[in-house]
Amino acid sequence: MNQFGTLFRVSVFGESHGPMIGVTLDGVPSGISLTKEDFAADIARRKPGAKGTTPRVETDEPIIVSGVFNDRTTGAPLTILFENNNTRSKDYEKLREFPRPGHADFVASKKFKGFEDYRGGGHFSGRLTVLLVAAGVVAKKICHGVEIKGHIVEIAGEKDPEKGLQKAIDQKDSVGGIVECVVRNLPLGLGEPFFDSVESQLAHAAFAIPAIKGVEFGAGFAAARMFGVDHNDSILDDSGTTQTNHAGGIVGGISNGNDLIYRVAVKPTSSTPKEQQTLNVKSNQVENFSVKGRHDLCIALRVPVVLEATTAFVLADLLLQSKARN
Amino acid sequence: MNQFGTLFRVSVFGESHGPMIGVTLDGVPSGISLTKEDFAADIARRKPGAKGTTPRVETDEPIIVSGVFNDRTTGAPLTILFENNNTRSKDYEKLREFPRPGHADFVASKKFKGFEDYRGGGHFSGRLTVLLVAAGVVAKKICHGVEIKGHIVEIAGEKDPEKGLQKAIDQKDSVGGIVECVVRNLPLGLGEPFFDSVESQLAHAAFAIPAIKGVEFGAGFAAARMFGVDHNDSILDDSGTTQTNHAGGIVGGISNGNDLIYRVAVKPTSSTPKEQQTLNVKSNQVENFSVKGRHDLCIALRVPVVLEATTAFVLADLLLQSKARN
Amino acid sequence: MNQFGTLFRVSVFGESHGPMIGVTLDGVPSGISLTKEDFAADIARRKPGAKGTTPRVETDEPIIVSGVFNDRTTGAPLTILFENNNTRSKDYEKLREFPRPGHADFVASKKFKGFEDYRGGGHFSGRLTVLLVAAGVVAKKICHGVEIKGHIVEIAGEKDPEKGLQKAIDQKDSVGGIVECVVRNLPLGLGEPFFDSVESQLAHAAFAIPAIKGVEFGAGFAAARMFGVDHNDSILDDSGTTQTNHAGGIVGGISNGNDLIYRVAVKPTSSTPKEQQTLNVKSNQVENFSVKGRHDLCIALRVPVVLEATTAFVLADLLLQSKARN
Amino acid sequence: MNQFGTLFRVSVFGESHGPMIGVTLDGVPSGISLTKEDFAADIARRKPGAKGTTPRVETDEPIIVSGVFNDRTTGAPLTILFENNNTRSKDYEKLREFPRPGHADFVASKKFKGFEDYRGGGHFSGRLTVLLVAAGVVAKKICHGVEIKGHIVEIAGEKDPEKGLQKAIDQKDSVGGIVECVVRNLPLGLGEPFFDSVESQLAHAAFAIPAIKGVEFGAGFAAARMFGVDHNDSILDDSGTTQTNHAGGIVGGISNGNDLIYRVAVKPTSSTPKEQQTLNVKSNQVENFSVKGRHDLCIALRVPVVLEATTAFVLADLLLQSKARN
């Protein structure tokens, strides 16, 4: 289903080329100050327009239609709409012939039996990540005192994002990257053993972001090559501070009071400018094909604020749950 | 909470040193043949006893107390119990002083305010993974026709598990590893965009396995360093067969009919035989400390069947959901 | 939380005097024909305007913003908005002094600490039942072949609704009533023992309708005064047809293939035209008070179509679940 | 599914004639004192043995297998088992021919395709209500300070239960009754508008009790015949005390600080001693039939403590949720 959360619940709806898209937040405590302006900074961070990002620019003006009264949350479901202004549906009609490799076009058509809104990826579109960002803005307010920061670790294998993006421009191809999220001042004790571990929930939400293909916490995959005595984080004091942080702030599925650190792998944008070979579903032949339309060369550049957002709504939910039991 | 699933729901209970542990499966269709013997093979694969695994050997005899009648599932909740026979609680009393680095001892004590059952890790114990395996046995029957296979990819950085384990024995330290799961004959169309993507759900369940610190699908983290044209999997025919499989069988969160492939990173066993420095919570001093008791040198060796199990119950749920909508 | 359902999920948002209200349906199968016109009949049945109903008339034009493409459901979340045109917020400012007896004004103010949108009952308003009706229209399409009919059983104790309503007009007071819902051609076997019994779920959804204070199935409260041999419904044939239907079509929580019949008690409209005594929260004195504004004399008259709707979305969910297991 | 709750979750499993039945409580806060003895009083109240109840007497000794350590809850899932000692399965073999009228035998056989455990009603058995009672014991501890009392209102139409039961004995037939539950000292503000109204949740849980066919709050069905000015409860002071309590302590789905009062209708025990006519599924003829075995003449006599239990776990959940948001 298209929602996430137990006490703080995020539901998304809408398609890339429909009239509008929206997100409903259920379980928001009442009395939190919230205005349109609160969304501006994070939405701007996600916005395309910079080098290597799509020239499709939406106004991305949040329209709060419920759950806020006199600039405070009311405790009722909070719905935020965004209009789709800048759609060029004609660009996509041709794609019915060529389900784009790496995109959901083909699986969507099979899964929904041809009834899916195929324009611009429909409900699968990265356009909907603005909804996650909007949810994150509210969630961050619930996580007050907790600092959540996403940043680029590498682009196209380069630590310097500029150098990585230049590789894409030079190659006239799209590239991927790695994004890290660091959470500071998170209370010890969030999460549950087994299915509701902090890792389970953050990974669940992170893999909801299109193009994410890997998630690792702390030392992550490198841990698989370490010895136990090197990997273990010695506890130094009663607040749980550890000497190292290979666990990425989570032990036994529970936050341990140290910085929570995790990384995601972002695949290269599926809409590469390069010519590809793939199935033409009308001719039923494999043919040459080029993606038209407006696309990011490196979607990873826009992921940090989205990953902050999914992190924020996972943690908001866990913080609310933690209050319930204490 | 200690459960997972929508239509096929797995709930676990029990502690390492309590009288018994158990798993309840809700939503099992009626009429599936099921006997104790069906559990033997998978439980044996998880069993310790081999080189590099703990000498604590449990009989691991499944006791089916509900949901099965005349060797067929009834459709009612199916509960399987396992007795804990081979516990040595005295081994653990001393650990109250030294919360073991890498284990949940410290966070559990804080989270549950000292009321947790601390013996052998209590509810956090890897002992409970036998419950996941048991759930997997039933789930695999629901996924009939689908082949789910877990295998070791590397141990301690070595492709050859024997060589990797030898490093642990030589170093008198614990080691980690990487485990892969491959699913064949999975129908196209499972999963949902965004929060219920196949990746989201498999990762959620995989991170419920203790010691897992990373999950990647298909090319995974390597995808972050590929160009788009190289990463994209060209579609070759109307069944969705792709030329390559960098996506690991999942596009847009939906299974695409190709092999589903993913890997998990397993950290080195926290209970290393090596001496460590860590907090003595009674003296409030950092002191030298050694783990006593019986432990695996490499927990990754036992993960393949557990990962198959979590994979099976995620897919069983998705297959049931898919039937509902078709 | 403001949602209901497992495989067919209904979420509502909005306030009586906000810009718009909406409902999101998640889990709708793809390919169902759906246009604005499909909503007209049921929305008209709920509409006020007739004798004894409020003169506040909304256009109640459904705006489908997602999940439908070329007049067919896509399988993506389906959101329907309704604008609030006909609001007179000034009417309600005075009510801050007098939380209206029978209404949620007082509890909402305490629960949400004064941050609630108090205009016209805010999120508690009966206005939102148009969302339930809209959800019901889609749900009824999923329940094709099943006939769901709500009707008035009595108003103000009179079998003839006209006579009952006349009592209200004569007394210049509001009145209540009893509404029945009958479901024909429902398959045998829906529901689960215990918590997901058909009764549990229908009652859960029915009590979401404002003003409902009782629910009974089949013989209901009268069953409590019957002898067993009179109450039991003898089974007559292999399709499960029973001689009588005191069970209302549900045995052991499961639909039994006979007509499903249940009734709800609707309290008199809280906004009576009569003068009342109640607390003035500003003066902290009990004072005389009269409700101004536009209100129904008998809200029960508008309940049949709403009860059909909640019935439809409960049954749509159960029918989808039933497909999953068969 | 066989479970209920959001933050305090109750899952039941087991069959009337299996080796044991059990209940798992997830979300219990740590540190609550809990011993076997705590269950004795409520279990005794449910026990058969008195006049008009079945002579099948189980020892009903709770076996706590997880979630409690040193007589305190640990915060991990808490599972309680009850052995089935006193089963006479041979009594029931004959019933395969005659699915008992009023029982789930017939629908279970169809729903589960003949694979159900039909002995003694299997998973549908009233035997499992001991699990609800056990859950209630723990839930009541979470609701400390809140008083929850169930009592008989009438049996067979008589206010005096003895007189009502005598009617059953005289008629050699089973009878029904009405049970009321009153909750005192419940905080104002629990519940949500619409789907998670207090009425929705209490009714949902109450209809999980076998034989319940109606639920009404406050004035309930009588409200449908009242005028608005008579039904409305005038608010008298800032704590929300009302002059009357026709709303039964719930307004707009939210607890209003007054006594919460509701009643359930219990149908006559389906296993009447009287001869009945019903389908013989082997001969496919309607034939005379008598229930053998040991049964209650009036199951309503045993309902008060069960209704207290379902009330307690609904309220425990709502109290935990309320803490999360305040």
Distances (CA, A) of C121 to C3, C105, D252, D312: 19, 7, 10, 29
Does A323 contact D324 at a Cβ distance shorter than 8 Å?
yes
Asked if C18 is an interface residue toward chain A (Cβ–Cβ < 8 A), one would say yes
| Residues in a beta bridge with C20 | C83
Neighbours of chain C (3+ CB pairs under 8 A): A, B, D
Task: Quote the pLDDT of residue D295.
Answer: 79
Contacts of D22 in chain B (CB under 8 A): 22, 65-66, 79
pLDDT at D87 over 80: no
In the predicted model, what is the mean pLDDT of residues D23-49? 94
Least-confidence region, from A144-148, B216-220, D58-62: D58-62
Planar angle of CA D314, D317, D323, nearest 5 degrees:
140
| Distance, CA of A136 to CA of B233 (rounded, Å) | 32
More confident residue, A179 or D92: A179
Q: Between A and D, how many residue pairs show a Cβ–Cβ distance under 8 A? A: 33
In the predicted model, what is the mean pLDDT of residues A28-52? 90
pLDDT digits (tens, 9 = 90+) for C238-252: 999 999 999 999 999
Contact A300, A129 (CB under 8 A): no
Asked if A205 is an interface residue toward chain B (Cβ–Cβ < 8 A), one would say yes
| Distance, CA of B98 to CA of B284 (rounded, Å) | 10
Q: Into how many domains does chain C fold?
A: 1
In the predicted model, what is the mean pLDDT of residues C214-241? 97
Residue C238 burial class via C-beta count within 10 angstroms: exposed 0-12, middle 13-18, buried 19 and up: exposed
CA dihedral B153→B156→B160→B166, nearest 10 degrees, is -150
pLDDT at B95 over 70: no
Of D12, D75, D122, the CB nearest to B74: D122
Of D12, D216, D272, the CB nearest to C213: D216
SS3 content of chain C, % helix, strand, coil (to 5): 35, 25, 45
Chain length of chain C: 326
Euclidean distance between the first and the last CA atom of chain D, given in angstroms as a whole number? 31
**pLDDT classification of A326: cutoffs 50, 70, 90:** confident
**pLDDT classification of A94: cutoffs 50, 70, 90:** low
pLDDT digits (tens, 9 = 90+) for A259-285: 999 999 999 999 999 999 999 999 999
Residues 6+ apart with CB under 8 A from B107: A188, A189, A240, A251, A252, A254, A255, A256
Contact C245, C233 (CB under 8 A): yes
Contacts of A239 in chain B (CB under 8 A): none
Residue A31 burial class via C-beta count within 10 angstroms: exposed 0-12, middle 13-18, buried 19 and up: middle
Contact C101, C270 (CB under 8 A): yes
What mean pLDDT value characterizes chain B?
Answer: 94
Asked if D76 is an interface residue toward chain A (Cβ–Cβ < 8 A), one would say yes
Contact A200, B207 (CB under 8 A): yes
State how far residue B9 is from chain D, nearest Cα, in angstroms: 9
pLDDT at B162 over 80: yes
Asked if A324 is an interface residue toward chain D (Cβ–Cβ < 8 A), one would say yes
Contacts of D177 in chain C (CB under 8 A): 224
Contacts of C27 in chain A (CB under 8 A): 1
Contacts of D326 in chain A (CB under 8 A): 29
pLDDT at B91 over 70: no
pLDDT digits (tens, 9 = 90+) for D129-149: 999 999 999 999 999 999 999
Does A74 contact C112 at a Cβ distance shorter than 8 Å?
yes
Contacts of D30 in chain B (CB under 8 A): 111-113, 115-116
| Distance, CA of A40 to CA of A44 (rounded, Å) | 6
Of A18, A76, A122, the CB nearest to C123: A76
Count of CB atoms within 10 A of residue B20's CB? 18
pLDDT digits (tens, 9 = 90+) for D252-261: 999 999 999 9
Secondary structure E strands in chain C: 3-4, 9-13, 20-26, 63-66, 68-69, 72-73, 78-83, 147-155, 177-184, 212-217, 250-251, 254-255, 260-266, 276-280, 285-289
| Distance, CA of C207 to CA of C216 (rounded, Å) | 12
Does D7 contact A320 at a Cβ distance shorter than 8 Å?
no
Least-confidence region, from A77-91, B159-173, C310-324: A77-91
pLDDT digits (tens, 9 = 90+) for D263-296: 999 999 999 999 999 999 999 999 999 887 667 8
Contact D203, D215 (CB under 8 A): yes
Does D27 contact A325 at a Cβ distance shorter than 8 Å?
yes
Asked if A195 is an interface residue toward chain C (Cβ–Cβ < 8 A), one would say no
In the predicted model, what is the mean pLDDT of residues D221-234? 97
Asked if A296 is an interface residue toward chain C (Cβ–Cβ < 8 A), one would say no
Q: Looking at chain D, which residue has its C-alpha nearest residue C254? A: D107
Interface subset of B 118-177, CB within 8 angstroms of A? 121, 123-124, 128, 154, 156-157, 168, 171, 173-177
Written as six digits, the tokens of C233 are 């419904």
Backbone torsions φ then ψ of C312, nearest 5 degrees:
-65, -40
Task: Quote the pLDDT of residue A59.
Answer: 83
Tell how strand B147-155 and strand D276-280 pair up.
unpaired
- Residue C258's identity, in one-letter code, is N
Does B192 contact A2 at a Cβ distance shorter than 8 Å?
yes
What mean pLDDT value characterizes chain D?
Answer: 94
Helix (H) or strand (E) holding A306: helix A303-325
Q: Is A43 helix (H, G, I), strand (E, B) or coil?
A: helix
The closest alpha carbon to B195, from A128, D93, C212, C15, belongs to: A128
A262 Cα distance to chain centroid: 13
Q: Looking at chain B, which residue has its C-alpha nearest residue A152? A: B224
Task: Quote the pLDDT of residue B272.
Answer: 93
Helix (H) or strand (E) holding D129: helix D129-142
Neighbours of chain A (3+ CB pairs under 8 A): B, C, D
Give the residue ranges of DSSP H helices in A105-172.
Answer: 105-111, 129-142, 161-171
pLDDT at D36 over 70: yes
Largest CA distance in chain A: 68
| Residues in a beta bridge with D11 | D3, D24
Contact A174, A298 (CB under 8 A): yes
Of chain D, the percentage scoring pLDDT greater than 70 comes to 94
User: Which residue of D170, D209, D215, D226 to mutate against C (max C Cβ within 10 Å)?
Assistant: D215
pLDDT at B163 over 90: yes
Contact B39, D85 (CB under 8 A): no
Task: Quote the pLDDT of residue B92.
Answer: 65
CATH number at residue A227: 3.60.150.10
Contact C72, A115 (CB under 8 A): yes
| Distance, CA of C166 to CA of C164 (rounded, Å) | 5
Task: Quote the pLDDT of residue D285.
Answer: 95
Written as six digits, the tokens of A275 are 């010519």
The closest alpha carbon to B190, from B251, B129, B246, belongs to: B251
In the predicted model, what is the mean pLDDT of residues D296-312? 96
Count of CB atoms within 10 A of residue D74's CB? 29
Of A1, A72, A112, the CB nearest to C74: A112
Q: Looking at chain A, which residue has its C-alpha nearest residue B129? A: A194
Asked if B228 is an interface residue toward chain C (Cβ–Cβ < 8 A), one would say no
Rounded to 10°, the helix B303-325/B198-206 angle is 150
Task: Quote the pLDDT of residue A93.
Answer: 67
Give the residue ranges of DSSP H helices in chain C.
Answer: 37-46, 90-93, 105-111, 129-142, 161-171, 198-206, 228-231, 303-325
Interface subset of B 22-61, CB within 8 angstroms of A? none
Does B276 contact A229 at a Cβ distance shorter than 8 Å?
yes
User: Which residue of C167, C231, C290 to mutate against D (max D Cβ within 10 Å)?
Assistant: C231
pLDDT at C50 over 70: no
Of C6, C29, C76, the CB nearest to B325: C29
Of D15, D24, D75, the CB nearest to B115: D75
In the predicted model, what is the mean pLDDT of residues C192-200? 96
Residues 6+ apart with CB under 8 A from D183: D146, D147, D148, D149, D249, D259, D260, D261, D311, D315
Tell how strand B72-73 and strand B68-69 pair up.
antiparallel
Quote the domain boundaries for residue C249.
3-325
Helix (H) and strand (E) counts in chain C: 8, 15
pLDDT at A52 over 90: no
State how far residue B286 is from chain A, nearest Cα, in angstroms: 6
Contacts of B75 in chain C (CB under 8 A): 325
Task: Quote the pLDDT of residue D291.
Answer: 82
In the predicted model, what is the mean pLDDT of residues C134-146? 98
| Distance, CA of B79 to CA of D14 (rounded, Å) | 8
pLDDT at B59 over 90: no
| Distance, CA of B291 to CA of B293 (rounded, Å) | 7
Asked if D99 is an interface residue toward chain B (Cβ–Cβ < 8 A), one would say no
What mean pLDDT value characterizes chain C?
Answer: 94
Q: Say whether the ipTM exceeds 0.95.
A: yes
Contact B111, A189 (CB under 8 A): yes
| Distance, CA of C142 to CA of C315 (rounded, Å) | 9
Count of CB atoms within 10 A of residue B185's CB? 13
pLDDT at B242 over 90: yes
Task: Quote the pLDDT of residue B167.
Answer: 96
pLDDT at C13 over 70: yes
Which one-letter DSSP state was computed for residue D99?
P
pLDDT at D89 over 80: no
pLDDT digits (tens, 9 = 90+) for C245-293: 999 999 999 999 999 999 999 999 999 999 999 999 999 999 999 887 6
Of chain A, the percentage scoring pLDDT greater than 90 comes to 88
Chain length of chain B: 326
Task: Quote the pLDDT of residue A324.
Answer: 93
In the predicted model, what is the mean pLDDT of residues C41-55? 79
**pLDDT classification of A325: cutoffs 50, 70, 90:** confident
pLDDT at C51 over 80: no
Of D106, D236, D242, the CB nearest to C235: D106
The closest alpha carbon to D67, from A47, B18, B263, belongs to: B18
